[in-house]
Each structure stands twice: as C-alpha cells, then as structure tokens.
Amino acid sequence: MTANPYNQLPPMTLFKVTDSVSAGTNEGKWVYTVRPAVVNEAIVYSGGNFTFEAGLVENGTYLGINVYEFGNTTTYHQGVVRANLPGTFALQPIPDDRIVPGMMIDPENPKVLLFWPNQFDGGCS
C-alpha cells in the first residue's frame, strides 16, 4: 500500500507548478498540476538577489487550485472589472516551473491549495 502523502508532507510546503488548464472560459480560474518541491541546501546571494535551486520530491503529482482565484468570475478578476482592463490585459495563471507555497488537503483524495497572487499581463491598444 502506498503511503498517503498527506501524512508525509508538512501542513504548508512548497510545490512546483508543472501545468495549468483553464477551469472555464474567462473565469480567471485554473486547475494546476503540481509536484512537491524542496529547497536544496544552496541558497546564494549575488548581485543583490537571493537565488536557490529547487529539487522535486519523487512522490507523485497532484491537482491544485489557487486560493487567490476563488472569487474570480467572468466579470471580476482579482476584484478588477475585466471589461475595464486596457487593451489585451488579462489575468494570467501561475506560470509553469514556479515554486509556490501550498497546503495538502483532503487526506482521502489529496489535492493542493496554492497561494500565489496572479498577475495581469498584456498590452495597451
């Protein structure tokens, strides 16, 4: 029997986003595929920036949802009226390969709550 990852990971840990799929047209919500991540011992300070190498824990992938997206609708994204956004600006999903904090939920069918404030991107017309 495979050990339940809910019992192996701390309540708040790091996850690497490997993919995202829109949860609905213009909803501003995505379903993410994530893997547990660990920070290697090497944290480097150079040129005024901290960088670190993240490695993956080889115990599976999980579906995740971002708590910052819970209130998004076809009308509002992060509290902003979509129709008022200039040009092609639109809310973006968590980019692939980002390391984000998250929390494993539902021990019977593990899922991950992610914590990442989405950004808007686009151009003015």
d(C-alpha 107, C-alpha 123), whole Å: 43
Ordered by start, the domain boundaries in the chain are 25-121
User: Quick one: pLDDT at residue 34?
Assistant: 94
- Show the low-confidence residues of the chain (pLDDT under 50): 1
Residues 17-37: tens digit of each pLDDT: 999 999 988 889 999 999 888
Residue 1: what pLDDT?
A: 45
